[in-house]
Amino acid sequence: MNDAGSQSEVDPVTRFEGSLSVQTERSMTDPPEGDVVMTLREVAVAFGGRTAVRDVSFDVRAGEATALIGPSGSGKTTLLRALNRMHDAERSATVTGTVRLGDLDVYGSDTDPTLLRSRVGMVFQRPNPFPTMSIYDNAVAGLRFNGVRKKALLDEAAESALAAAALWDSVKDRLKAHGSTLSGGEQQRLCIARALAVEPEVLLMDEPTSALDPIATKRIEELVGELKDRVTIVIVTHNMQQAMRVSDRCAFLLMGEDKAGELIEFGPTAQLFSEPSDPRTLDYVNGRFG
């Protein structure tokens, strides 16, 4: 403990001058608190008895973007996939603790995972439009999967979702074209539209820009801000600047001694990046590791 302490007091200011403007815009106070949409209590995920992430408790609030940050192996994606039961397909996976969506116990014995997933949508690391479907069919795929047949409703949802994903103007004249004719960034926005069309209450985004170039990344980040009124967002990112730009609250995860990820700190993004309560958070947001 020589000069490390004083250095860590200086660094956040000098290193993240950019974040100062963010902080002043948000006036350093906590974001106004929306209703709690999802509750996580003591959530842990294990694969075949090996714990991948554990001891995660925080609330996801309506109208906000909550970011999960941390270095590789800290269990961000594993935790995210626990929120809409994507681990169900993996036989060795077990999820313990409590995840609630409103009044619904996500892992309750009478909770139908497919109905849950229509309320908690997901966007993946790589754009994955259905290659056999047109742009329109991709956009309404989730509705059709869930048994919606009414043409009027499909058309309406397609336009609304594509417009919300900032794609409508560029594709409205070629809705019959294949999804794979779009650029990578457009494909990812198509996947966002596809998830939005089901009108989920929560949208999980798993490093949605990791396969995209900087311009497409910027577009997606802007989109996250625009979508917050429509859907509550939980986003995984390994990019701290991205977390600062898009999120209202941040959960910082870190791999513990036994390779299992743990929640180190949860709080308003501005606070987490400027005056975190845990020294490990400070080291991470200052770029000393990870």
Footprint on this chain of another protein (rule: CB under 8 A) = 84, 86, 89, 114-119, 121-122, 124, 126, 128-132, 141-142, 144-146, 178, 180-181, 191, 194-195, 198, 204
Strands (E) in the chain, as ranges, are: 36-47, 50-61, 65-69, 93-101, 104-105, 120-123, 202-206, 232-236, 249-255, 261-268
Among the listed residues 52, 41, 150, the one whose alpha carbon sits nearest the alpha carbon of residue 93: 52
Among the listed residues 201, 273, 229, the one whose alpha carbon sits nearest the alpha carbon of residue 17: 273
Of the pair 141, 162, the CB lying nearest another protein is at 141
CB of 181 to another protein, least distance (A): 8
Q: With H, G, I as helix, E, B as strand and everything else as coil, classify residue 279.
A: helix
Distance (Å, rounded) from C-alpha 98 to C-alpha 59? Answer: 12
CB of 145 to another protein, least distance (A): 4
Of the pair 92, 277, the CB lying nearest another protein is at 92
CB of 132 to another protein, least distance (A): 4
The DSSP call for residue 199 is -
Of the pair 123, 260, the CB lying nearest another protein is at 123
Of the pair 145, 241, the CB lying nearest another protein is at 145
Taking a C-beta distance cutoff of 8 angstroms, is the pair 208, 125 a contact? yes
CB of 191 to another protein, least distance (A): 7
Distance (Å, rounded) from C-alpha 184 to C-alpha 18? Answer: 28
Of the pair 70, 200, the CB lying nearest another protein is at 200
CB of 78 to another protein, least distance (A): 14
CB of 157 to another protein, least distance (A): 12
Taking a C-beta distance cutoff of 8 angstroms, is the pair 106, 97 a contact? no
Of the pair 13, 115, the CB lying nearest another protein is at 115
